[in-house]
Amino acid sequence: MPIKSTNKPHGNEPFLTTSLLAAIEAGKAIQKIYHTGFEVEYKKDDSPLTLADKTAHDIIIRHLLGSGIPILSEEGKAISFQDRKTWESLWIVDPLDGTKEFVKRNGEFTVNIALVKDGAPIMGVVYAPDRDLLYFAMQNLGAYKIADPEIIREYQDGIATSRITLRDILKNALKLPLPGQQEKPYTIVGSRSHATPDLEMFVADKRKAFGKVDFIPAGSSLKICLVAEGQAHIYPRLAPTMEWDTAAGHAVAIYSGARIYEHESGETLKYNKENLLNPWFIVEREL
């Protein structure tokens, strides 16, 4: 059954604040597990699963239940399309994106929370707790980044007393894309754990077109956010992903002015499809 409550939503700004606080609290719990011992289980598709995935899922669900909007989460995804197809809006959540990076202990993992309406993300939060990086975006607001550990600690401490407002958060945020990125050589960001021959061919083609090309390997949805902030020009994802891997980053990208589209057709990625597998896609910022 879909996860729902009977409360009615009241506009989008409170939802953004709720999802930011949910991501921050989940990230704090993830970090506690990350810096202690943890065991790794493996799902049927051989992808890893840890206590951090499960704990973060529970925290996020607790925060989002009051919205009255159904939730599709990687760790609670057994919801039939017959149920989902009637949802005009839904949360799409990945409690721990980049579990492989978590297991490798390289810090490149994120908490992803997106609000999707009519198949398109209208809000997204991407939080990398080990890097103290918080990205968020909303339709008609834009995309933002916070990279100050002290500010994020203040948010963590304030969650219990509910003192934090969106206005407070925006005061400490940098609007995306960040200035001063125009002079960079053509830069491609690509998967650290899912490199493919197709990606290698893509990079080779860009080197022929642009001469000097920089390549940044990264994990999780941080790759999308690097394009959103202007650190990279393009992120080609020529390998499988699921909707919860991309929905939050998709919002950050498009509301920063970048594009995200299917590699073959050029069409915009859609969400809450019958098949939750994404097609290959490109995230790109115009030169």
Report the interhelical angle of 243-254 vs 222-229 (nearest 10°): 10
Quick one: pLDDT at residue 6?
Answer: 33
186-284 placed in CATH 3.40.190.80: yes
pLDDT tens-digit series, residues 207-244: 999 998 999 999 899 999 999 999 999 999 999 999 99
CA–CA separation, 238 and 17 (whole Å): 33
Show contacts of 156-164: CB within 8 Å, 24+ apart: 156/24, 156/25, 156/28, 159/21, 159/24, 159/25, 164/17, 164/20, 164/21
Residue 26, token pair as written in the block: 């989940």
Architecture in CATH of 13-175: 2-Layer Sandwich (3.30)
Quick one: pLDDT at residue 45?
Answer: 65
pLDDT tens-digit series, residues 65-88: 999 999 999 877 778 999 999 999
Q: 138 near 123, Cβ under 8 Å?
A: yes
pLDDT tens-digit series, residues 7-42: 333 458 999 999 999 999 999 999 999 988 777 787
Tracing tokens 């949360």 back to the chain, one arrives at: 91
Averaged over 54-58, what is the pLDDT? 93
Mean confidence (pLDDT) of the chain = 89
pLDDT band at 2 (very low <50, low <70, confident <90, very high): very low
Averaged over 169-177, what is the pLDDT? 95
Quick one: pLDDT at residue 161?
Answer: 63
CA–CA separation, 113 and 123 (whole Å): 8
- How distant, in Å, are the alpha carbons of 80, 119, 123, 133 from that of 92? 15, 11, 10, 20
Instruction: Break the chain into its structural domains and give their ranges.
Output: 13-175, 186-284
CB atoms within 10 A of CB 25: 21
Quick one: pLDDT at residue 43?
Answer: 74
Q: From the centroid of its chain, how far is CA 88?
A: 21
Q: 285 near 205, Cβ under 8 Å?
A: no
Quick one: pLDDT at residue 71?
Answer: 96
pLDDT tens-digit series, residues 244-262: 999 999 999 999 999 999 9
